[in-house]
């Protein structure tokens, strides 16, 4: 005798999709074709790298080489900047896309030049060789991260975040981002990659031999393949799966995040415990829980400074804290402060933005000048001199 | 007769000294596989920094330079004559023997690059800087040799030739021969050809076959080789003019193609920079438009070659998949230091699988491919790069014939069933293999 099982009738809630030309901090669901488009461009960037590093087909043109990724970032970036509704995020995207375009595409593409460096990389580090320990960029970025946190590179400058942010936007929704407690624990995976990176740092202290050059090749594959694989896996691990779980550079900068001056301040007295901060975080950081547990400090290796939690906090309970707070103790970089800094109708903001783009232009011009000075017969120590304007010495 | 016998007795008494002088009998190998090989007495000369032992001769005492010359004018007149012709001897304060060899006859040393670097620090620095470029490199040449599995494993008599050239990293007189140490001598192609000749790097043939080389052969004798390697000093370029412009001892600073043994992306940022250096160099004599055309043709030749080579690699990998490479990796002795090969015997096909050490103990068809990849391919590359197209074409014709032969052989291997003979015992315990293990 079978008891009749009554299946509870499921009310079908129609999913309201977000139009592709709109983006908010709180991730929306997007139509299948938007996701498909994003995935195709992820795959395209991967093919570009594959062709550049391995296949060398079609003479590695711009649409299928290592610069395909920044080109995609620029194209999608313009679209996303126009779609973005959060003023601070829009400002960040403008800086991010501009940085990636100039520093990671235009300079190395049009005027490749070698950075002064210490150690042995089994090759010459072409600018911007952030990933090669011992180069000028590497040390400058480490110092800047110590002062201002991972924002300096990850949130505002990184092509890896760039493509995940502007192409991977449909995969920000909780449909795609695992936010459970065990998923949060998986972030420790990246310390394995960090250990591999320490090995690479060791290998670079010695001139190339079988062991060091073999290890560096292995390390490069261990970074690049997961880098692109996680893009293609975005529908299942979220757009920032790589940054959260695997990035050895993120781990390095994250350590400096911890020991350095950057953190997020949390004021329990203002907090209404709405949980918005945790929902908007692409890195799936439990912002509120950490703030409440750690005497008002959210000091984590994971935060790359997108500022979504702060600008979305309805009561201004959260605020950035970095080297600037040493100089201006009264400064509170909370929601109001950040949004003001993003209001382009204000003259100060316009000046500041113009100043930034002027700086970027100076870097571009400097790179063109510098690369016209090197590439001749000077050796590397004298090339270091060329940066300071010293004449090339030949003997 | 009695006098002759007297000399004989003296000679018999002395010979153990002559044998023991120099290399310490207990000297071990160097590098990654140091435990697997012992140096020959000659290694004292190839790598003096590591192996040179002061001569334990009868002469004792501390000598000034003048005192050295007094004796050695008679004992080794050639050396002294050479030295008298050198700039070391003609300097206002002559660089005498003790400067490089020390003054205690019981503690003589052979100069290393560091010795020369005490007076020529810029040159030493340039040479050391070359290590930043990775392989190929003069500065890393010694490690490259001794860290090769086949070098460490083979009986030393069989690899006697390796270090003569690879010692370019550990001493300066590979190019500036002793005791004149002449810059003019080292500027001439002959200085390079000591090593850069024959397969796998027919640099001499390809250079001489080029218009540049013909110009040198016709007129080189009349040139003033004391002039520096700078624009306008030479009517046609020679090896050192292009590869060591302005005397730059960082010879790898324009090495784009990595010796030709693996495919590279000529458009990588690093290679764009190196190519820019080449183009500036070509423009010393040629119109600026010529260089890029030349390099595009070289790119095309390289890419064509790799299409051919990869075709053969696919063929061999197919045979490997079907188990038709006989004897297979499991039936032939792995290099003793290759733990991976012991754990996972596998035929190494292509650069990235470690084909470079697949000189020996491989099946016939693998060795045939090794010949194409290492010898013919590099000949075709050097011919093209040195401007001897005719030689490049000839190497390509040879390559095509070899590739066809490999194709035919591969077909035959596919169609025949593997013989059931005891290949394993034949290869693993053969007379040669036993000898090999005992004499490295």
Q: Is residue B376 part of a domain?
A: yes
Q: Which of B246, B277, B280 sits opposite A394 (nearest CB)?
A: B246
Asked whether the predicted pLDDT for residue B125 surpasses 50, the reply is yes
Q: Which two tokens stand for residue A194?
A: 């960090």
DSSP SS3 for A263: strand
List CB contacts of B169: < 8 A, sequence separation 6 or more. B113, B137, B138, B139, B140, B141, B142, B143
What span, in angstroms and rounded, lies between the C-alpha atoms of B238 and B243?
9
Shortest alpha-carbon distance between residue B336 and chain A (Å)? 16
B-facing residues of A in 51-90 (CB < 8 A) are 52-53, 56, 59-60, 65
> What pLDDT is attached to residue A377?
37
**Average pLDDT of B219-237?**
94
Q: Is residue B165 part of a domain?
A: no
Cis peptide preceding B428, ω within 30 of 0: no
B-facing residues of A in 299-338 (CB < 8 A) are none
Q: Is residue B175 part of a domain?
A: no
The residue among B127, B273, B303 with the most chain A CBs within 10 A of its CB, best to mutate, is B273
Asked whether the predicted pLDDT for residue A395 surpasses 50, the reply is no
Q: Is residue B309 part of a domain?
A: yes
Query: Could you tell me the end-to-end alpha-carbon distance of chain B, in angstroms, rounded to an integer?
Result: 44
DSSP SS3 for A264: strand
What span, in angstroms and rounded, lies between the C-alpha atoms of B411 and A177?
53
User: In three state form, how does the secondary structure of A107-165 look?
Assistant: HHHHCCCECCECCCCCCCCECCCCCCCCEHHHHHHHHHHHHHCHHHCHHHHCHHHHHHH
Residue A213, chain B, CB below 8 Å: the answer is yes
Indicate yes or no: CB of A381 within 8 angstroms of CB of B303.
Answer: no
Residue B139, chain A, CB below 8 Å: the answer is yes
CATH of domain A259-335: 3.30.70.20
Indicate yes or no: CB of A379 within 8 angstroms of CB of B263.
Answer: no
CA distances (Å), origin A47, targets A52, A228, B282: 8, 10, 35
DSSP SS3 for B62: strand
Indicate yes or no: CB of B132 within 8 angstroms of CB of A124.
Answer: yes
Q: Is residue B393 part of a domain?
A: yes
What span, in angstroms and rounded, lies between the C-alpha atoms of B168 and B139?
7
Residue with tokens 């690049």: A224
pLDDT tens digit sequence for A128-156: 888 888 888 899 999 999 999 999 999 99
Q: Is residue B331 part of a domain?
A: yes
Q: Which residue of A has its CA nearest to B250?
A: A379
User: How many structural domains comprise chain B?
Assistant: 1
Q: What are phi and psi of B137, to 5 degrees?
A: -160, 140
What span, in angstroms and rounded, lies between the C-alpha atoms of A28 and A13?
15
Q: Which two tokens stand for residue B218?
A: 């016709």
- Hey, how many other C-beta atoms are within 10 angstroms of the C-beta on B168? 23
Assign B10 a pLDDT band (cuts: 50, 70, 90). Answer: low
Indicate yes or no: CB of B250 within 8 angstroms of CB of A379.
Answer: yes
Domain definitions of chain A by residue range: 259-335
Assign B122 a pLDDT band (cuts: 50, 70, 90). Answer: confident
Chain A residues touching B245 at Cβ < 8 A = 377
Asked whether the predicted pLDDT for residue A374 surpasses 80, the reply is no
Assign B60 a pLDDT band (cuts: 50, 70, 90). Answer: confident
Q: Please, what is the angle between helix A210-232 and helix A190-203, to 10°?
A: 150
C-beta of residue A129 within 8 angstroms of C-beta of residue A135: yes
Spatial CA neighbour of A309 closest among A18, A17, A25, A8: A25
Q: Which of A60, A210, A380 sits opposite B147 (nearest CB)?
A: A210
Residue B369 domain boundaries: 296-439
Residue with tokens 């202290």: A205
Across the beta sheet with A333-334, the strand order is A297-298, A263-266, A318-321, A333-334
> What pLDDT is attached to residue B20?
47
Shortest alpha-carbon distance between residue A356 and chain B (Å)? 26
Asked whether the predicted pLDDT for residue A350 surpasses 60, the reply is yes
pLDDT tens digit sequence for A35-61: 999 999 999 999 999 999 888 888 778
Show contacts of B192-197: CB within 8 Å, 24+ apart: B192/B239, B192/B240, B194/B165, B195/B164, B195/B165, B195/B168, B196/B239
Q: Is residue B193 part of a domain?
A: no
Q: Is residue B176 part of a domain?
A: no
Assign A391 a pLDDT band (cuts: 50, 70, 90). Answer: very low
Indicate yes or no: CB of B265 within 8 angstroms of CB of A60.
Answer: yes
Q: Which two tokens stand for residue A151?
A: 């924002």
> What pLDDT is attached to residue A56?
87
pLDDT tens digit sequence for A165-187: 999 999 999 889 988 889 999 99
Assign B19 a pLDDT band (cuts: 50, 70, 90). Answer: very low
Asked whether the predicted pLDDT for residue A381 surpasses 80, the reply is no
Average pLDDT of every residue of chain A: 88
Average pLDDT of every residue of chain B: 88
Chain B residues touching A121 at Cβ < 8 A = 132, 134
User: What ipTM is given for this predicted complex?
Assistant: 0.85
Cβ contacts from A onto B, under 8 A: 86
Shortest alpha-carbon distance between residue B242 and chain A (Å)? 11
**Most trustworthy range by pLDDT among A11-20, A201-210, A215-224, A372-381:** A215-224
Asked whether the predicted pLDDT for residue B396 surpasses 50, the reply is yes
Q: Which of A108, A124, A209 sits opposite B133 (nearest CB)?
A: A124
Asked whether the predicted pLDDT for residue B124 surpasses 80, the reply is yes
Q: What are phi and psi of A321, to 5 degrees?
A: -140, 120
> What pLDDT is attached to residue A8?
60
State pTM to two decimals.
0.87
């Amino acid at each position: 005798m079978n008891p009749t099982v009554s299946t509870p009738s499921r009310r079908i809630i129609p999913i309201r999709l977000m139009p592709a030309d709109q983006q908010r901090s709180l991730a929306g669901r997007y139509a299948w074709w938007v996701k498909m488009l994003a995935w195709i461009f992820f795959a395209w960037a991967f093919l570009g790298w594959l062709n550049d590093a391995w296949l060398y087909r079609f003479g590695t043109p711009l649409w299928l080489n290592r610069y395909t990724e920044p080109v995609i970032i620029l194209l999608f970036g313009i679209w996303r900047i126009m779609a973005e509704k959060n003023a601070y995020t829009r400002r960040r995207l403008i800086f991010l896309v501009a940085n990636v375009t100039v520093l990671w595409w235009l300079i190395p593409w049009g005027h490749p030049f070698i950075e002064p460096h210490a150690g042995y990389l089994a090759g010459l580090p072409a600018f911007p060789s952030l990933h090669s320990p011992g180069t000028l960029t590497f040390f400058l970025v480490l110092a800047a991260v110590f002062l201002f946190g991972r924002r300096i590179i990850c949130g505002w400058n990184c092509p890896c975040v760039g493509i995940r942010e502007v192409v991977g936007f449909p995969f920000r929704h909780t449909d795609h981002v695992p936010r459970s407690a065990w998923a949060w624990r998986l972030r420790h995976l990246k310390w394995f990659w960090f250990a591999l990176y320490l090995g690479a740092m060791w290998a670079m202290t010695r001139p190339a031999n079988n062991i060091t050059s073999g290890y560096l090749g292995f390390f490069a594959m261990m970074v690049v393949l997961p880098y692109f694989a996680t893009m293609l896996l975005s529908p299942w691990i979220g757009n920032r799966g790589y940054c959260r779980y695997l990035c050895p550079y993120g781990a390095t900068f994250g350590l400096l995040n911890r020991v350095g001056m950057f953190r997020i301040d949390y004021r329990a007295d203002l907090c209404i415990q709405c949980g918005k901060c945790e929902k908007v975080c692409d890195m799936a950081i439990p912002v509120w829980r950490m703030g409440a547990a750690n005497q008002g400090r959210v000091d984590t290796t994971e935060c790359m400074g997108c500022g979504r939690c702060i600008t979305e906090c309805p009561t201004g309970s959260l605020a950035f804290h970095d080297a600037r707070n040493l100089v201006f103790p009264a400064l509170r970089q909370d929601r109001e402060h950040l949004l003001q800094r993003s209001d382009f109708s204000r003259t100060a903001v316009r000046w500041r933005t113009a100043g930034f783009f002027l700086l970027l232009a100076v870097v571009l011009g400097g790179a063109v000048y510098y690369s016209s000075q090197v590439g001749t017969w000077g050796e590397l120590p004298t090339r270091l001199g060329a940066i300071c304007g010293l004449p090339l010495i030949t003997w | 007769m009695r006098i002759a016998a007297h000399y004989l007795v003296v000679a018999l008494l002395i010979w153990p000294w002559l044998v023991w002088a120099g290399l310490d009998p207990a000297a071990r190998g160097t590098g990654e596989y140091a435990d697997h090989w012992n140096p020959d007495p000659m290694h004292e000369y190839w790598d003096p920094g590591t192996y040179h032992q002061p001569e334990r001769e009868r002469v004792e005492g501390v000598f000034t330079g003048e005192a050295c010359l007094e004796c050695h004018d008679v004992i080794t007149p050639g050396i002294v004559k050479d030295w008298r012709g050198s700039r070391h001897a003609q300097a206002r304060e002559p660089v005498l023997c003790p400067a490089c060899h020390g003054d205690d006859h019981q503690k003589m040393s052979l100069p290393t690059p560091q010795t020369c670097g005490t007076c020529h620090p810029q040159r030493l620095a340039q040479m050391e800087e070359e290590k930043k470029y990775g392989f190929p490199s003069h500065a890393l040449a010694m490690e490259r040799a001794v860290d090769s599995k086949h070098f460490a494993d083979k009986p030393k008599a069989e690899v006697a030739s390796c270090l003569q050239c690879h010692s370019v990293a550990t001493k300066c007189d590979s190019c500036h021969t002793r005791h004149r140490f002449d810059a003019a001598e080292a500027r001439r192609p002959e200085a390079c050809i000591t090593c850069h000749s024959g397969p796998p790097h027919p640099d001499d043939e390809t250079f001489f076959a080029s218009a540049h080389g013909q110009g040198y052969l016709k007129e080189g004798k009349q040139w003033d080789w004391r002039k520096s390697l700078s624009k306008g000093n030479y009517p046609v370029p020679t090896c050192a003019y292009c590869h060591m412009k302005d005397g730059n001892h960082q010879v790898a600073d324009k090495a784009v193609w990595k010796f030709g043994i693996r495919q590279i992306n000529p458009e990588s940022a690093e290679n764009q920079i190196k190519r820019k250096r080449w183009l500036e160099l070509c423009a010393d004599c040629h119109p600026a438009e010529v260089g890029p055309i030349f390099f595009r043709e070289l790119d095309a030749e390289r890419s064509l070659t790799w299409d051919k080579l990869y075709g053969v690699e696919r063929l061999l990998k197919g045979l490997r998949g079907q188990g038709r490479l006989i004897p297979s990796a499991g039936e032939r002795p792995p290099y003793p230091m290759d733990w991976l090969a012991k754990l996972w015997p596998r035929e190494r096909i292509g650069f990235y699988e470690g084909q470079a050490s697949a000189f020996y103990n491989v099946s016939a068809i693998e060795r045939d491919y090794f010949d194409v990849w290492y010898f013919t391919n590099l000949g075709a590359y050097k011919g093209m790069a040195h401007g001897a197209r005719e030689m490049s074409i000839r190497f390509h014709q040879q390559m095509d014939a070899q590739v066809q032969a490999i194709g035919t052989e591969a077909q035959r291997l596919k169609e025949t069933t593997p013989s059931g003979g005891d290949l394993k015992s034949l290869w693993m315990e053969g007379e040669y293999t036993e000898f090999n293990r005992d004499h490295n």
